[in-house]
Amino acid sequence: MATFAEVLAAQLRRDPGRPLLTFYDHATDERVELSVTTYANWVAKAAGLLTEVADLERGMALRIDLPPHWLSPVFLGAAWSVGLRVTTGDEPDAVVCGPDTLGAWAPRAGRLPVLACSLRPLGVRFAEPLPAGVLDVGVEIWSQPDGWTAWDPPTDDDLATDDLTQREVNELTAAAGSSLTDGGRLLSVADPASPPGMATFTEPLGRGGSLVLVRNPDPDRLDGVHDAERATARA
């Protein structure tokens, strides 16, 4: 199984109801948990948003300029389902940003799709109007269906990042050598949409495990999260 879509489909067949992603924000006390099925539904909606609203196609580049958040692996999976390259470059074909980086991308909304996430609980819309041309993910994503099928499916040779194909991402994940075991739960504060942090999500996904992701971590509370969520490894 060399493409992201194949890996996710295998986990949906294996145990669709198990937790895949548990998110904490210590600054707001938010907690969100996505099962494999719920995550797949969000990926489908995000893939529909990228293709039907942002008009992106296989082979294009997407910048995911978000902090560690449960929407980061959602858009990561959506990008790879479409066959997009997740780039760290400054000239993407589209960008997904949050409130902290909105000001940097909004002036470019006339030249490329700028999809802004409020990062408020439940993925809701921004409380204030957005700059002209910026698309509010919290508005646009809800009209997309829970199921999505690529009309031009990516292969394992499609670039997943600026440097790695989808096959190579999975090969590196399999060879990561972390302390996570099959079915384990990985506690991490890293950004899963950034190249250094991608394995914190792709490894649990491939191993039939789950990620416990903490944003704005309070060092005094991490041990409590580790114990409450029955984490088996840390990254």
Reported as a single tens digit per residue, the pLDDT across 80-118 is: 999 999 999 999 999 999 999 999 999 999 999 999 999
Nearest to 154 by CA among 64, 80, 232: 80
Which pLDDT belongs to residue 122? 87
pLDDT over 80 (residue 173): no
Which pLDDT belongs to residue 18? 95
Which pLDDT belongs to residue 171? 85
71 to 1, 96, 221: CA distances (angstroms):
24, 10, 22
99 to 66, 118, 127: CA distances (angstroms):
9, 6, 11
Tokens of 195: 């190249």
Q: Domains of the chain: which residue ranges? A: 4-234
| Choice between 2 and 132, residue whose per-residue pLDDT is larger | 132
pLDDT over 80 (residue 224): yes
pTM: 0.96
Query: DSSP readout, 181-229?
Result: PTT-EEEE-S-TTSGGGTHHHHHHHHTT-EEEEEES--HHHHHHHHHHT
CATH code given to domain 4-234: 3.40.50.12780
Other CB atoms within a 10 A radius of the CB of residue 88 amount to 15
- For residue 18, the SS3 value is coil
CA–CA dist 111, 132 (Å, integer):
12
